[in-house]
């Protein structure tokens, strides 16, 4: 599927959002498109990206679907090269692709561990390494990594919390290494956000979705759970010109002071 354009798009920056077929990634892609970016909507297969691409194009934005497993080095190189060829050099990267494989430590398999560490950490490493070449050449770039409040520890998520804490370390180091080239790197750490990921968790623990949301909301200071748009707004700020002096930070988007 080549790039699709709806209406007129003037000068734009090219953004890649991983895991953008649904949930937080899809909303971040739509938000960045509204703010004038041409967006590569990247997920495991192109077909799954169709709705996000169509939403953007229908509103006059520019988007293209890109298939890649972010944990696969060759697929990542191919995808980033394709984005650069078709849309232009990617100067915004949102490392959002994610999976959970929750289990208590004594039941956690090596596959559970490797899968989660692979998608979040290896994925963010590979995507950042491929994209930074374009950013440093342009002398301007923004990388936003999606961490989580789970980085602070959550029962049943040894793999996921290690990966999300690891992303915070990656964020700080890349901010130091890439800052001199005009590239800022920051992380957003969401709390409970209503998406397929949290729906699947509710199903797994056998609690009806509405009860699960009500219980979560009762424990959050602002007394509601988050929506993908809450995260997308902070991603958009960190990707903007205005955020040029913010680097190596982790912003918790959790309805309370989780960090």
Q: Which spans of this chain sit near ligand NAD (rule: CB under 6 A)?
A: 18-19, 21-25, 43-44, 69-71, 96-99, 119, 123, 146, 148, 190, 192-193, 195-198
Residue closer to ligand NAD (CB basis): 22 or 136: 22
| Dist CA 109 CA 112 (whole Å) | 5
Nearer to ligand NAD, 25 or 156 (CB): 25
- Distance, in Å, from the CA atom of 119 to the CA atom of 221, rounded to the nearest integer, reads 31
Active-site entry in 160, 192, 212, 252: 160
In the complex with ligand NAD, which residue's Cβ is closer, 4 or 258? 258
Min dist CB 201 to ligand NAD, Å, is 8
* CB of 147 vs ligand NAD, minimal distance in Å: 7
* Minimum distance, C-beta of residue 70 to ligand NAD, in the bound complex (Å): 4
160 is catalytic: yes
Residue nearest to ligand NAD (CB): 23
Q: What is the Cα–Cα distance from 244 to 240, expressed in whole angstroms? A: 7
User: Nearest distance from residue 181's CB to ligand NAD, in Å?
Assistant: 26
In the chain, % helix, strand, coil (3-state, to 5) comes to 50, 20, 30
Helices (H), the chain: 23-34, 50-58, 73-86, 110-117, 123-138, 158-178, 196-205, 209-218, 228-238
CA-to-CA separations, 197 to 137, 174, 246, in angstroms, rounded: 36, 27, 29
| Residues designated as active site | 160
């Amino acid at each position: 599927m080549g790039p699709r354009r709806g209406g007129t798009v003037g000068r734009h920056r090219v953004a890649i959002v991983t895991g953008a077929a649904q949930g937080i990634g899809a909303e971040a892609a739509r938000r960045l498109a509204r703010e004038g970016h041409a967006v590569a909507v990247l997920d495991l297969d192109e077909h799954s990206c169709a709705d996000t691409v169509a939403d953007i194009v229908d509103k006059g934005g520019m988007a293209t679907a890109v298939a890649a497993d972010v944990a696969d080095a060759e697929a990542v190189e191919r995808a980033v090269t394709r984005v650069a060829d078709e849309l232009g050099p990617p100067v915004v990267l949102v490392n959002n692709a994610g999976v959970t494989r929750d289990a208590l430590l004594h039941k956690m398999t090596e596959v559970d561990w490797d899968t989660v560490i692979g998608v979040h950490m290896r994925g963010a490493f590979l995507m950042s390494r491929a994209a930074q070449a374009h950013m440093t050449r342009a002398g301007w770039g923004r990388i936003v990594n999606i961490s989580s409040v789970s980085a602070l520890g959550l029962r049943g998520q040894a793999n996921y919390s290690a990966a999300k804490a690891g992303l915070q370390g990656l964020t700080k180091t890349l901010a130091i290494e890439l800052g001199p080239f005009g590239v800022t790197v920051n992380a957003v750490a969401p709390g409970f956000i209503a998406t397929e990921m949290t729906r699947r968790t509710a199903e797994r623990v056998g609690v009806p979705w509405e009860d699960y949301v009500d219980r979560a909301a009762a424990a959050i200071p602002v007394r509601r759970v988050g929506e993908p748009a809450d995260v997308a707004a902070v991603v958009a700020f960190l990707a903007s010109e205005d955020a040029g002096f913010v680097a190596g930070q982790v912003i918790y988007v959790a309805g309370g002071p989780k960090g």
